[in-house]
Amino acid sequence: MKVFNPEPKPGLRETSFRKICRNGIGDGHNSYAHSMAYLEDHLYVGTIRSLLVGARYVHKQIDLEMWPVLCPHPFYSKEFEQTARGEIWRYSILTDEWRRVMQAPLVQDSDGKTTYSREIGYRGMVAFQGKSDPKPAIYTSTFSRSKGNGPLILRSDDGTNFKQVGKPGLIGLPITSLRCLIPFKGRLLTAPTSAAGSNPNTSGVSVIYETQDPAAGTWCPINTPGFGDPDNRTIFEVAGFGDYLYAGTLNNHGFQLWRSSLEGEPPYEWSLVIERGAQRGSLNQSVASMVGFKGSLYIGTAIQGGGYDIRNNIGPAGAEIIRVHADGSWDLIMGDPRGDISPLSGIPAGFNSLSNGYLWKLGVHQGWLYAGTLDWSVMLQFAGLRDRKGRVFRMLEEVGLDTIVDRQGGFNLWRTHDGENWLPVTRSGFGNAFNYGVRNIVSTPYGLFIGTANPFGPEVAKVVDGEWTYDHNPSGGLEVWLGS
């Protein structure tokens, strides 16, 4: 008897989505939906605050004609610290109501003179039941201040009260953030992402840590540092699929992908699956996202800095999607041809756009794979290109910055039901050019939630009568969309 595979449910289109919060959940300082998790009819959203304000002081290598947002207060001033307090919000799907359930506390410096926000945001979040948890709880990891004691793991068993479990810096490490919290084989896993004095994507601690009981706060390293390669500056993304845990690195010579079945005693045995950015080298600097779909693991790549790593002179270049099979072989799904390798979708890197510098998030919902990008087009309106050298910058100036922003501004969200044939859901950030990234994708019984990155609030730079000024931006601040 012939067995027919059922057709997938219709995929979500742009008209399938509705925005379920005001921008920034009513506060333009909420820049990213930096982390999201679903549990018991509620969506939890951890924000990062005042991202471009803080970046104005921290990342001095960024060269713009006009800073995109108003920075009215000095770094570490009392006013700045109030706007820099990370938040966690809970959305009741049944009542369509938002409630702030966590705001980062203000703490004092060791000199007792300076008060600052303990964390600016919450970078990882997951619903997980550890050995001592009577039921699943919400766990989140913080993005701490560089002058603080390191990031924390917070736990909530009621969805409204979050308490610290374990030591700052996970085990006292000199780091500032933990990007991922991944459940796999009864364990919760994470990896340090950034360190004090470093950029937010390199930690110098290229190690994955595991625990079976995060409430107890005890973590154990499960790999040799950097898998023995000092060029692996960070383990940027971790994902469980099939019998293996996969780990993707950030490496200026091209990412590496490793996997382990986590058998025996840690540190476990690991095997190398992909090296040198899948033969693309530095233009696939990092693994940004991973998810399992229909028997294979899909990987989204990135170059830090939005697709152009100024510090290391890498890029600009669009991101790629790579599919890894159970036997460790791989296909290029979307990307640039090289040698005898061509993209099976026929779509060049960045979904045929140089400005899609991250394939930032992948998610699966009702038989479809969704891929969300970071698109830096909107930043061009603040960048002076007259003195920039190189073919890319000459091309951008010839086309015209306003034209590029109008036609390309806003993230891309694409979908596929077979991994090779792709359809666009939106190429305009749901109609808002300031929505420059898909930061999170969460599938629930109620539909697919998309959390955006939008740091262009609450006041954005604009040109009026030939002069730069700052004006209130009702389109600034993160957005959350529900597709059903």
Token reading at 192: 């340090």
Residue 178 β-bridge partners: 192
pLDDT 10s digits, 140-150? 999 999 888 99
Q: What is the mean pLDDT of residues 436-444?
A: 98
Rounded average pLDDT over 243-264? 98
44-98 tens-digit pLDDT? 999 999 999 988 887 655 678 899 999 999 888 999 999 999 999 999 999 999 9
Q: Spell out the domain ranges in the chain.
A: 14-483
pLDDT at 2 over 60: no
Token reading at 125:
């979040």
Mean residue pLDDT of the chain comes to: 93
Find the range with the poorest average confidence among 30-39, 209-218, 378-387: 378-387
Encode pLDDT of 172-197 as tens digits. Answer: 999 999 999 999 999 999 999 999 77
Q: How high is the pLDDT of residue 25?
A: 98
347 has pLDDT over 70 = yes
- The CA distance from 87 to 102, in Å, is 5
pLDDT, tens only, 286-311 = 999 999 999 999 999 999 999 999 89
What pLDDT sits at residue 397?
Answer: 65
Question: How many residues comprise the chain?
Answer: 484
Residue 1 has a pLDDT of: 46
Residue 396 has pLDDT above 90, yes or no: no
Please report how many Cα atoms fall inside a 13 Å half-sphere around the Cα of residue 377, on the Cβ side: 29
- Closest by CA to 362, choosing from 272, 279, 314, 422, is 422
pLDDT of residue 114 exceeding 90: no
CATH architecture of 14-483: 6 Propeller (2.120)
Confidence tier at 401 by pLDDT (50, 70, 90): low
Say what the pLDDT of residue 197 is.
Answer: 73
Q: What is the pLDDT of residues 414-426, one digit of tens each?
A: 999 999 999 999 9
Q: In this predicted model, what pLDDT tens digit does every residue of 312-327 receive, in sequence order?
A: 999 999 999 999 999 9
In three-state form (DSSP H/G/I as H, E/B as E, the rest C), the secondary structure along the chain is CCCCCCCCCCCCCHHHEEECCCHHHHCCCEEEEEEEEEECCEEEEEEEECHHHHHHHHCCCCCCCCCCECCCCCCCCHHHHHHCCCEEEEEECCCCEEEEEEECCEEECCCCCCEEECEEEEEEEEEECCCCCCCCEEEEEEEECCCCCCCCEEEECCCCCCEEECECHHHHCCCCEECCCEEECCEEEECEEECCCCCCCCCCCCCCEEECCHHHCCCEECCCHHHHCCCEEEEEEEEEECCEEEEEEEECCCCCEEEECCCCCCCCCCEEEECHHHHCHHHHCEEEEEEEECCEEEEEEECCCCCCECCCCECCCCCCEEEECCCCCEEEEECCCECCECCCCCCCHHHHCCCEEEEEEEEEECCEEEEEEEEHHHHHHHCCCCCCCCHHHHHHHHHCHHHHHHHHCCCCEEEECCCCCEEEEECCCCCCCCCCEEEEEEEECCEEEEEEECCCCCEEEEEECCEEEEEECCCCCCCEEEEC
Mean pLDDT of 7-20: 92
d(CA 271, CA 256): 11
Counting residues of the chain whose pLDDT is more than 90, the rounded percentage is 83
**Confidence (pLDDT) at 391:** 65
Higher-confidence residue of 197 and 264: namely 264
pLDDT band of residue 395 (cuts 50, 70, 90) is low
pLDDT over 50 at 4, yes or no: no
pLDDT tens string 126-142? 999 999 999 999 999 99
